[in-house]
Structure 1
Amino acid sequence: MSKQLTKAEEQIMQVLWDLQEASVKEVIEKLPKPKPAYNTVSTIIRILETKEFVGHKTKGRGYVYFPLMEKSDYSNQSLHKLMNGYFEGSFKSMVSFFMKENKMDMKELEEILKEVNKKGNEKNS
């Protein structure tokens, strides 16, 4: 199932992925200034729970939240959505686009291909 995050939700998930677990107050401390209101962050975290990105456990009188989805799984899902939505599902077309638009050099492309091959070999072993 493909679930997308809004920009605000993704910002909070980045903090939770970094910290692994945090209270609303701890999430707010890691966000850039101007800091959002406590109720705003609390509401977004509840939405993330509904979307099944975040879980919680009781700690003292409050809750501690933790990611239910790994960052790598979300990144992979987002990349596939981008590839399917804009490049007819073709990894080659997507890489070609980024090479042209971002002026990627051969060294960078070789590094990407090494990484892709390494991941492919890990899956096959």
Structure 2
Amino acid sequence: MKKLTEKEDQIMQVIWRLENAFIREVVAELQEPKPHYNTVATLIKILVKKGFLTSEKLGNTDRYRAIIPMEVYRQEQIKGIKEKYFGNSLPKMMAHFAKQENLSDQEIEELIGIIKSKNNKRS
């Protein structure tokens, strides 16, 4: 799966949140300083070519929606980070984040609970 540029990712975040959108709606949701309408339109056309978006003609304009769900894209990106930076080791990756983030006891307990519940489902 192709990787999104920073600007493409900003647009996809809006479309994932709205589920479908016209270009003007995407522009309205972007943070200041807002890019020009034509810039957003060009980026959306690129996202269609890359296979991230599809369009539906409504009158004179197109409404766009994501083909690739955010969860699928996120999983692919995390998998790539795990492989590239942590030798494909989930424990090493989790240890890195546990050390970098100043986790509270409650957050640690929450993570342990998630891991235990996942392991119990396998048994």
TM-score by length of 2: 0.89
- In the alignment, what sits opposite 1:59? 58
> Which position in structure 1 is the counterpart of 2:45?
46
Flag structure 2 segments of 5+ consecutive residues without an equivalent. Answer: none
Pair 67,119 (structure 1): closer, same or farther in 2 beyond 3 Å: farther
Instruction: Kindly report the root-mean-square deviation, in angstroms, between the aligned alpha carbons of the 2 structures.
Output: 1.7
| Alignment pair present for 1:77 and 2:58 | no
Shift in CA distance, 71/119, structure 1 to aligned 2, threshold 3 Å: farther
Answer yes or no: is 1:90 the counterpart of 2:89.
Answer: yes
How far apart are 1:112 and its partner, in Å? Answer: 2.8
Q: What SS does structure 2 have at the residue aligned with 1:57?
A: strand
Q: Deviations over 1:50-105 (max 9, x none)?
A: 11010001011010000001111111111101101100000000010111111224
Q: Greater shift after overlay, 110-119 or 92-101?
A: 110-119
Number of positions where the alignment pairs a residue of Structure 1 with one of Structure 2 = 121
Counterparts of 1:20-31 in structure 2, within 5 Å, are 20-31=19-30
Q: CA deviation at 1:3?
A: 1.6
Pairing 1:19–2:18 present: yes
1:106, distance to aligned residue in structure 2 (A) = 4.4
Does structure 2 conserve the Cα–Cα contact (< 8 Å) formed by 1:98 and 1:104? no
Structure 1: unaligned runs, 5 residues or longer = none
Runs of 4+ in 1 over 3 A off after TM superposition: 113-121
Task: State the distance in 1 between where 2:32 and 2:60 align.
Answer: 27
In structure 2, how many angstroms separate the alpha carbons of the residues matched to 1:45 and 1:79? 24
Query: Which whole-Å CA distance do the structure 2 matches of 1:48 and 1:113 have between them?
Result: 38
